[in-house]
Structure 1
Amino acid sequence: MTSTSASKIYCPSLTEYKRRLSREVKIGDLPLGGLNPIRVQSMTTVDTMDTLGSVEQTLRMVEAGCEYVRITAPSVKEAQNLLEIKKELRKRGCSVPLIADIHFTPNAAELAARIVEKVRVNPGNYADKKKFDVIDYTDASYAAEVERIRERFRPLVQICKQYGTAMRIGTNHGSLSDRILSRYGDTPLGMVESALEFLRLCEEENYYDVVLSMKASNTQVMVQAYRLLVQKLDEEGLQPYPLHLGVTEAGEAEDGRIKSAVGIGTLLEDGLGDTVRVSLTEAPEAEAPVARALIDRYTTRAIEAKPIRPLGVESVTSKSNETNNQQPATNNQPPIDPFQYFRRHTREVQNLGGQNVPRVLVDISRLSSVEYADLRAVGHLYSAFLDKFQMNDLGADYVYSGQRPVPFMLPNGLKEVVDYSAWLDAGRRPDHYPVLTPAEYAVAGAKHPELNFVFQTLDSLTPAALDQLRQDATAVVILHTDNAHAMPEIRRAFFELLNNGITNPVIINRQYPELTAEQTQLYAATDVGGLLLDGLGDGVVLSTELLPERPKEQWLTTLDQLNQLSFGILQAARTRMSKTEYISCPSCGRTLFDLQETTAMIRKRTDHLKGVKIGIMGCIVNGPGEMADADYGYVGVGKGKIALYRGQEVIKKSVPEEQAVDQLIELMREDGKWLEPVVLEEPVGV
């Protein structure tokens, strides 16, 4: 079930950087929303009853850049201890606003609201329930359930209003109640309606200090839900409440950062978001710098951005693309459905476009020479002993060698792209595919009979270029930009293709000169991931070609990083699954085991299982629901006790922790999902 509204408008502009102007909400002495900066927050992992431990961790988080600190309050005793934590923090000169995190316990929320500056409630389990029951509601019985929940929620609203306490109504995709699931299904619309039921009561009580969030581990669902929420607020004439952005259970290390950037960055690009929490399975102090790096990219975006031709201004007469359920873009209405995933319809050219997964192209053109062993950087491992290549799960599909073609036969599964002039000079080799500039493409007489790549920008997509692409069944576009407002400009170019009925596959190209590795990681995940989430893009090529000359070993390290990053972005956007995915929560005071250590242990045993999704949850609150679409789950249910899940069904309820990983593997083996790890021969150069 999706939105039935005709409006697709969900942000101030699809082509200019304009931050959505939300209502200002007071949270202690640090207001949120309005004209205030985008705020950073995180959550403690220490037991809330450990007052000094909570205080010390909070101080470290503030030092790392947290502007709000959330602390779990699973029962009344923890809610009461928030007062002791707050007193000690104030004694030490720390005035950071505190947020109480509530699940299942309205009485704890009502107590916490008298103590801290903000409370977070989850409408999926605040006076509601989740037992995975399907209930056939009549309109009357559903309305009666809603009214029951409203009456249970009303006292908290009144207390918050009396004490000047702010509230976050935080919907989680994985913990939608049985009532919402039965009515709306497991959809972004269900997430939005879950929050709006609570929000409407707040407005009836003239209480407006509310922040909203729509979190999910699935980045497609997360982005669609936030967009739909903004559209629904406008449609119903509700206040423009601030948005708290986050991807739940993002994981750890590079994967967690990429996944967070894909979801959070996509929304920030369109001016959505007033506070950010990056959920990593790491110490909470590690989260704030990542959030800050995402936010800081937009500090001067409006100044640095070049103007982008607005929607509705097309280079030729617009044509609808009925095959892809798409209509011409006009007046900020995109030619795609921003609330539901549809992949752009494209013709198949070799293994690009059509039903093929997005492909990875790696730019090796800066290497002065290429040897067999160098291809390890793009996922193709050469063994001198066996005299053959082995491809790992992150093996690139294409390499771009520019003017210096690789001097040996490439392994099966890897194809080479060269500059057009080099292709002509080499005698138009059939195993090389040329890439042409717009000028070369316009006048080219000789072309490869099967596959030709063409560099294009939004400005180069003239009526003549569009007509040439339309008639060329061999052309694949490599779309790039040097605009600081990169993702929206490339998206605008896609809209030009869509509105003109152009179905050639498109590879997204982004260049990141002179950035740190983490900046490249976050920026690329935002720019490319944001397009993939909207079904735009049939491949990716990332490069740092504007960097000064460096030793070959440094270039190989960079190529390896860019290759892994490309696959990581495709996986985070749910468009190509190439490795095991870990949906692991970031830990909090409810956690029943060491999440970082356990995640590392499970990863060590299972990271060869391509495409398998494993949820690792510290407690039942972040249990079967929060794992959402995981294939298997590992959930803490007591000290030293683990429950194992297949999907959302518990299979083993109380497994000793020391046996749990072995039994998880045995469960996979029973399902035919387990594969013994293969040890690849160590590649040696020749």
Structure 2
Amino acid sequence: MRRKSRQIHVGNVAIGGDAPIVVQSMTTTYTRDVESTVAQIHRLEDVGCEIVRVAVPEKEDALAIGEIKKRIHIPLVADIHYKHSLALEAIRQGIDCVRINPGNLINGRKSLEQIVAACKERGVAMRIGVNSGSIDALDQRGQMQRIQVRLRDDGVLERTDPAEARRNEREHLAERMVTKALEYISWCEELDFREIKVSLKSSTVLTAVEAYRRFAQRSDYPLHLGITEAGTLVTGSVKSSVGLGLLLADGIGDTIRVSLSAEPEEEIPVAYEILRSLELRNRGVTFVSCPSCGRVEIDVIQVANEVEKRLSKVQSPIHVAVMGCVVNGPGESRDADVGLAGGKGRGVIFRKGEVIKTVPEDQFLDAVLKEVASLLPEREAKLVYPEGGIQETAGQHRTRTEGMGLPILKS
């Protein structure tokens, strides 16, 4: 069961309560470069991003927010560090939410009070972000030394078991993060401000999970989930899927971001796949394909990758399957809205459980996408299957022999 959190709004997007879990990202451009920033946000919008954050390290970046806001269609969050004056300018420019870590603001609580006053005046939300790396280093070193040794009953100090030490370290750090977040929230509540969401990020998956779980037991403020500095496309996707998946399966989380060292558009499909796999959002393509094995009689890897790529901008819920043999293929394909079960250089096309035709291997892509397009709204259908059909370039289609180095099996 999903944790019941209080609901706030970032722009026109509801967060928490019974609102859907929201997918976010962050631009990689210099915010002052309005053209590049707007273009990147438009690409994010195309793949389903619902809130986007921009870095605001300098005044020029804050001053660009007004123009950016005019040209995008999703709420905008300003990422602020150190200088509260940048938050105030971003708010004047019409930002929908400010992300701050009160612990790294110059003049700390005094600066936070000015930001809160501006947020209240303009109806702007706030994200309080506490990262494990921002917890006081001296406090951490002293505590880590205590965690790594323990006092026996006979008064002798001995080194703690390494696994136990790591667990103790993780729990201590998570507790410090939660304590800081609750302290910052109390500062805001004393100023009668509660339009707050909270993040408790760490690059260590289990530390982040521990922190979020502890916070969820002690507060009802909505939570933004993320594993910070998660890594490249593969590494970051795995770490985010594990960390966010554990929390979401426990009912914890109101917004998510999959942080990747990649183009931000790459983050969105991973986020939606996490939500779909847990049946928390029914948006976009549920895609099933077999992993390929010695039974496969078509180049399923090539076909599956190309179909998935062509469907990347589809936001309507639809189930598509690409299968490469007669063992699991017919069953999986029959359960999909559109399915392909291939074998011996030919494939059966299913539509909502019914066989509609058999096509040769060089027509797989065209046949699958044409059927998918027929089930989509007109705008999305044109993205998937343009007029005139799918134009394959020379060498785009490969037989099993060319694509996988294996012979076509004969009956």
For normalisation by structure 1, the TM-score amounts to 0.39
1:304 maps to what in 2?
Answer: none
* Conserved? CA contact 1:397–1:413, under 8 Å: yes
Cα gap change, 1:630 to 1:459, in 2 (>3 Å): farther
2:201 maps to what in 1?
Answer: 480
Q: 2 CA distance for matches of 1:622 and 1:409?
A: 49
* Conserved? CA contact 1:458–1:492, under 8 Å: no
Q: Which digits, 9 at most, give the CA deviation of each residue in 1:192-211, with x for residues without a partner?
A: xxxxxxxxxxxxxxxxxxxx
2:393 maps to what in 1?
Answer: none
Cα gap change, 1:467 to 1:573, in 2 (>3 Å): same
| Structure 1 residues without counterparts, runs of 5 or longer | 1-341, 382-389, 545-557, 680-686
Ranked by relative contact order (alpha carbons within 8 Å, sequence separation 6 or more), the top structure is 1
Q: Which digits, 9 at most, give the CA deviation of each residue in 1:76-105, with x for residues without a partner?
A: xxxxxxxxxxxxxxxxxxxxxxxxxxxxxx
Cα gap change, 1:478 to 1:516, in 2 (>3 Å): closer
Give yes or no for the alignment of 1:519 onto 2:235.
yes
Give yes or no for the alignment of 1:615 onto 2:269.
no
Q: What is the aligned-residue identity percentage?
A: 20
Partner SS for 1:478: strand
What is the one-letter code of the residue matched to 2:252? L
What is the one-letter code of the residue matched to 2:355? I
For normalisation by structure 2, the TM-score amounts to 0.61
Give runs of aligned pairs for residues 83-94 of structure 1, distance below 5 A: none
1:343 maps to what in 2?
Answer: 2
C-alpha displacement of 1:356: 3.2
Q: How many residues align?
A: 308
| Structure 2 residues without counterparts, runs of 5 or longer | 131-176, 386-411
Q: Which digits, 9 at most, give the CA deviation of each residue in 1:575-611, with x for residues without a partner?
A: 4566544311111122121112222443465444334
Candidates 424, 428, 433, aligned match of 2:97: 433
Q: Which digits, 9 at most, give the CA deviation of each residue in 1:499-528, with x for residues without a partner?
A: 34x332211233228x55533333233223
2:272 maps to what in 1?
Answer: 570
Cα gap change, 1:573 to 1:530, in 2 (>3 Å): farther
* Conserved? CA contact 2:290–2:323, under 8 Å: yes
Give yes or no for the alignment of 1:416 onto 2:77.
yes
Candidates 634, 639, 644, aligned match of 2:349: 644
Q: 2 CA distance for matches of 1:524 and 1:371?
A: 30
1:528 maps to what in 2?
Answer: 244
Give yes or no for the alignment of 1:371 onto 2:13.
no
* Conserved? CA contact 1:435–1:453, under 8 Å: yes
1:635 maps to what in 2?
Answer: 341
* Conserved? CA contact 1:363–1:543, under 8 Å: no
* Conserved? CA contact 1:423–1:433, under 8 Å: no
Cα gap change, 1:433 to 1:601, in 2 (>3 Å): closer
C-alpha displacement of 1:423: 2.0
Q: 2 CA distance for matches of 1:602 and 1:531?
A: 31
What is the one-letter code of the residue matched to 2:267? L
Cα gap change, 1:484 to 1:601, in 2 (>3 Å): closer
C-alpha displacement of 1:664: 3.5
1:149 maps to what in 2?
Answer: none
C-alpha displacement of 1:359: 2.8
Give yes or no for the alignment of 1:380 onto 2:42.
yes
C-alpha displacement of 1:355: 1.5
Q: Which has the higher helix share?
A: 2
Q: 1 CA distance for matches of 2:336 and 2:187?
A: 44
What is the one-letter code of the residue matched to 1:460? K
C-alpha displacement of 1:417: 1.8
What is the one-letter code of the residue matched to 1:651? V
* Conserved? CA contact 2:206–2:243, under 8 Å: no
C-alpha displacement of 1:400: 3.2
Per mean C-alpha deviation after superposition, the further-off stretch among 480-489 and 578-587 is 480-489
C-alpha displacement of 1:474: 1.0
Q: 2 CA distance for matches of 1:474 and 1:508?
A: 17
C-alpha displacement of 1:617: 0.8
Q: 2 CA distance for matches of 1:612 and 1:401?
A: 35
Candidates 98, 121, 126, aligned match of 1:452: 126
* Conserved? CA contact 1:581–1:613, under 8 Å: yes
* Conserved? CA contact 2:3–2:252, under 8 Å: yes
Candidates 372, 393, 398, aligned match of 2:52: 398
Cα gap change, 1:641 to 1:418, in 2 (>3 Å): closer
Cα gap change, 1:659 to 1:520, in 2 (>3 Å): closer
Q: 1 CA distance for matches of 2:334 and 2:246?
A: 21
Give runs of aligned pairs for residues 151-230 of structure 1, distance below 5 A: none
C-alpha displacement of 1:673: 5.6
Cα gap change, 1:642 to 1:528, in 2 (>3 Å): same
